[in-house]
């Protein structure tokens, strides 16, 4: 069983969406964790957008990366530049580190429709990445 950590700044939005998709696409072949270098709580826009695609992340929690110092990760995926640049040392022996800076829908200002569209755009980008990752790495 592989251990995969998805790391973001606040573990509230993009890392939570990736967590949901990786759990789905890994089909039980991996344990998925998500964390932040800070904790900001679960973003309700991310919860709604994921639920619209059939994935319920409403029971996820916003966790700090320090909570997982004893887990030996196979993969550490940073999903924003800030987390990638400020990622603390994570004591995993042979972790493969990957990075993809996903668009941050939580920063969008505008109408409800514009904000909802931003979340869908980010969700679809994250979904595609996670599906490709799982196909390539979690066989």
Q: What percent of the chain has pLDDT over 70?
A: 99
Number of domains comprising the chain: 1
> pLDDT tens digits, residue range 52-93?
999 999 999 999 999 998 999 999 999 988 887 877 767 777
Q: How far apart are CA 43 and CA 106, in angstroms?
A: 8
pTM of the full predicted structure?
Answer: 0.94
Range of the domain at 74: 2-137
Q: What is the CATH number of the domain that holds 92?
A: 3.40.50.2300
**Per-residue H/E/C for the chain:** CEEEEEEECCCCCHHHHHHHHHHHHHCCCEEEEEEECCCCCCCHHHHHHHHHCCCCCCCCCCCEHHHHCCCCCCEEEECCHHHHHHCCCCCCCCCEEEECCCCCHHHCCCCHHHHHHHHHHHHHHHHHHHHHHHHHHCC
Q: How confident is the model at residue 107 (pLDDT cuts 50, 70, 90)?
A: very high
pLDDT at 83: 83
**Catalytic machinery residues:** 8, 80, 87
Tell me the mean pLDDT in the region 102-126: 95
């Amino acid at each position: 069983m592989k251990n995969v950590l998805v790391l973001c700044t606040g573990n509230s939005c993009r890392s939570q969406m990736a967590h949901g998709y990786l759990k789905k696409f890994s089909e039980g072949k991996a344990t998925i964790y998500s964390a932040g270098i800070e904790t900001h709580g679960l973003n309700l826009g991310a919860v709604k957008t994921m639920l619209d695609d059939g994935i319920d992340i409403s029971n996820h929690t916003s966790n700090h990366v320090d909570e997982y110092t004893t887990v030996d990760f196979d993969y550490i995926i940073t999903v924003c530049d800030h987390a990638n640049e400020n990622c603390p040392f994570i004591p995993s022996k042979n972790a493969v580190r990957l990075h993809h800076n996903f668009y941050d829908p939580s920063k969008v200002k505008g109408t409800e429709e514009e904000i909802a569209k931003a979340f869908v755009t980010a969700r679809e980008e994250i979904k595609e990445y996670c599906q490709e990752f799982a196909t390539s790495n979690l066989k």
